[in-house]
Structure 1
């Protein structure tokens, strides 16, 4: 393989900070792992791990090496994928990250559809809030991030691919259930939010401020770090919340939650794919990018055809 094997062993030990677990991951013996690390340390002329005090930690040299070892792995994977794609035979790995709404409700279907077209690609996915996923992208831990439309940045290329509609959900027996309310009425109810760093929270706060309601004027008794936590809290009667229609579709179908409409307020956001700024994605990233574009087009609502008027009988 393109990646240096000693760097692969180094990455495994650095991630686990445990030689035994690294050996299990690599299907090696612990002495073999120790030997590879010793050879790498001799090559650099510095210690990469501090083994004192019964614990393993990275030395300053190890900390400096780790991001380069991560980049070398991704670069090697990209090279393999690009060569395979040029031959019409995509293979290798695809490392994805997704914010929670996309990761829970959309990404599994995206991956399944992609693998039907590229069955030899191995997909690895992780999730977090938007800020966390973008940080993983910049650290080169993933190759592409699917997030809730952050603002344009110089270090990351942001490309929208799908629109998401946000709704206000309330308990089924709430006075606002299936009703239309004024924006000012939000002041009278506890409003639950996702944590800071969440793309959902950012979009909702910006929309409320644009409509003339400052988030600090709301009663926010609780913040939760998952969509499921928000939905469960609303079902328990702890407040109301804004959330993606994708996330609320099952509680709405079961009737445990209801929608409240706010006059004059339409909330939507864009789901975007993000990748490190630079050349246009190729290989598996390019293939997944093209797949997402097509998937978005296929899922977009299409205008109904007007029924053609029948010609009058003569």
Structure 2
């Protein structure tokens, strides 16, 4: 069974005739017929119902069609991957970044990449990690950075760093050196961000798991989209929130707020995600390398060491 046979089969099925398939493939009609005949002979099965004005598949042909399409797509993807090794003189890099990317020194990622490879188009998508993982699985973007946990059945995950999640309050009496327990946290007036994804957000998923084990519920007073807005409400005394420790070094963190670790320390794990079985274009691999370098720089002396999988 050859790719040429499969291409002839798939094209003939799509266009409805050997003549149209021959025209699209730029070969003689007799060649298409011969390719299909050899494929049928090799499989010991008839693939098309002949004699009607438009070709139709037999049961055997219907069974073969999705596998033939998948084989052709895989071969073409492999050819593109090899071709892209030649240069970065063009193409498109598609990559997902954390929505709060600036806190991890990723704000200049596009500028750095564009200076090195001005001819490459860049599609950089910043969104919640749950959405980034879904977009990678669906093939909408090639790869990206996510916070764990995410649904990863068809993803390859490489953890890069851990960033401690801290409790934040305007009231110094609400934080303690011993840290805050999940039971205490559940009793506070909470302002939580990432309202759209809610408890699908990876950090919130960790909190929900801990609360469930402790037999309590975390029910925020206010839910909004952006961490910066949440921090403004905390500074105004409306309630308390959580942030990754990387944000403490950012101008977005208001002065006068107080932080504490959780009694059982809580960490966001930043990871690189890509779709299993899908080779990355060279442009996206290079963008991923630059993003990983930025994450390494952001780790700092207090971050957990990098782990490879």
Indicate whether the TM-score tops 0.5. Answer: yes
Task: Tell me the CA shift for residue 130 of structure 1.
Answer: 1.9
Distance of aligned partners of 1:191 and 1:254 in 2 relative to their CA distance in 1, 3 Å threshold: closer
Matched position secondary structure for 2:94: strand
Task: Tell me the CA shift for residue 241 of structure 1.
Answer: 1.1
Tell me, in whole angstroms, the C-alpha distance in 1 between the residues paired with 2:299 and 2:103.
Answer: 20
What RMSD in Å do the two structures reach over aligned CA positions?
3.5
Aligned with 2:204 (options 180, 201, 208): 201
Distance of aligned partners of 1:249 and 1:213 in 2 relative to their CA distance in 1, 3 Å threshold: farther
Give the number of aligned pairs: 225
Distance of aligned partners of 1:214 and 1:247 in 2 relative to their CA distance in 1, 3 Å threshold: farther
In terms of Rg, which structure is larger? 2
Tell me, in whole angstroms, the C-alpha distance in 1 between the residues paired with 2:249 and 2:301.
Answer: 21
Tell me, in whole angstroms, the C-alpha distance in 1 between the residues paired with 2:219 and 2:199.
Answer: 16
Aligned to 1:286: 285
Name structure 2 gaps, 5 residues minimum. Answer: 1-68, 303-309
Give the alignment of 1:241-252 within 5 angstroms: 241-250=241-250
**1:230-275 Cα distance to aligned partner (Å, 9 max, x none):** 222212222111111233433686514221344x321212111212
Distance of aligned partners of 1:154 and 1:250 in 2 relative to their CA distance in 1, 3 Å threshold: closer
Aligned to 1:91: 90
Preserved contact between residue 129 and residue 198 of structure 1 (Cα < 8 Å): yes
Aligned to 1:307: none
Give the alignment's TM-score, normalised by structure 2. 0.60
Preserved contact between residue 81 and residue 90 of structure 1 (Cα < 8 Å): no
Preserved contact between residue 95 and residue 123 of structure 2 (Cα < 8 Å): yes
Task: Tell me the CA shift for residue 191 of structure 1.
Answer: 2.2
Task: Tell me the CA shift for residue 132 of structure 1.
Answer: 1.9
Preserved contact between residue 94 and residue 141 of structure 2 (Cα < 8 Å): yes
Give the alignment of 1:141-290 within 5 angstroms: 141-151=140-150, 153-171=152-170, 173-176=171-174, 180-183=178-181, 184-194=183-193, 195-207=198-210, 213-214=214-215, 216=217, 218-250=218-250, 254-262=254-262, 264-290=263-289
Tell me, in whole angstroms, the C-alpha distance in 1 between the residues paired with 2:299 and 2:127.
Answer: 26
Give the alignment's TM-score, normalised by structure 1. 0.59
Name structure 1 gaps, 5 residues minimum. Answer: 1-67, 304-314
Tell me, in whole angstroms, the C-alpha distance in 2 between the residues paired with 1:247 and 1:215.
Answer: 28
Preserved contact between residue 96 and residue 144 of structure 2 (Cα < 8 Å): yes
Tell me, in whole angstroms, the C-alpha distance in 2 between the residues paired with 1:111 and 1:215.
Answer: 43
Distance of aligned partners of 1:290 and 1:128 in 2 relative to their CA distance in 1, 3 Å threshold: closer
Tell me, in whole angstroms, the C-alpha distance in 2 between the residues paired with 1:274 and 1:144.
Answer: 6
